[in-house]
């Protein structure tokens, strides 16, 4: 009979850590200029804290991970294509890092930015 090993405990990953992973993934996506705060209140809050997770909101509801991403996209790129890319890259990066499935990645396009044409 194989020997039963006692439980070693559990691992918890905070939503802030998940947001950091998602933030890094978003900034690698083609067409994304940056992230934006959800609203003015969130903008003030993130200005006073670390800006690395600005524009990323992580919720864990009923054991499922839901990520909202607020992005600014480069003018002239296909918005739908960039948004789908963000969804896929964030989902893949978080699932790879955590080993857990992500239920939803919602992309909110908060603005467009025109690059200098010099």
- What are the residue ranges spanned by the domains of the chain? 15-113
* Fold that domain 15-113 belongs to in CATH: Alpha-Beta Plaits (3.30.70)
pLDDT bin (cut points 50, 70, 90) of residue 5 is: low
CA distance 58 to 81: 23
Give 56's strand partners.
Answer: 69
Give Cβ neighbours of residue 75 (< 8 Å, ≥ 6 apart).
112, 113, 114, 115
Average pLDDT, the chain: 85
Q: Per-residue confidence at 118, pLDDT binned at 50, 70, 90?
A: low
> What pLDDT does residue 81 have?
96
**Per residue in 51-108, pLDDT tens?**
556 899 999 999 899 999 999 999 999 999 999 999 999 999 999 999 999 999 999 9
């Amino acid at each position: 009979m194989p020997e039963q090993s006692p439980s070693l405990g559990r691992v918890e990953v905070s939503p802030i850590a998940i947001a950091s992973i998602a933030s890094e993934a978003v900034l690698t996506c083609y067409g994304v200029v940056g992230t934006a705060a959800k609203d003015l209140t969130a903008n003030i809050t993130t200005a006073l804290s670390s800006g690395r997770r600005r524009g990323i909101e992580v919720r864990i509801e009923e054991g499922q991970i839901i990520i909202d991403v607020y992005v600014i996209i480069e003018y002239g790129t296909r918005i739908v294509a960039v948004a789908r890319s963000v969804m896929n890259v964030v989902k893949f990066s978080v699932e790879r890092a955590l080993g857990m499935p992500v239920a939803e990645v919602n992309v909110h396009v908060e603005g467009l930015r025109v690059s200098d044409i010099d």
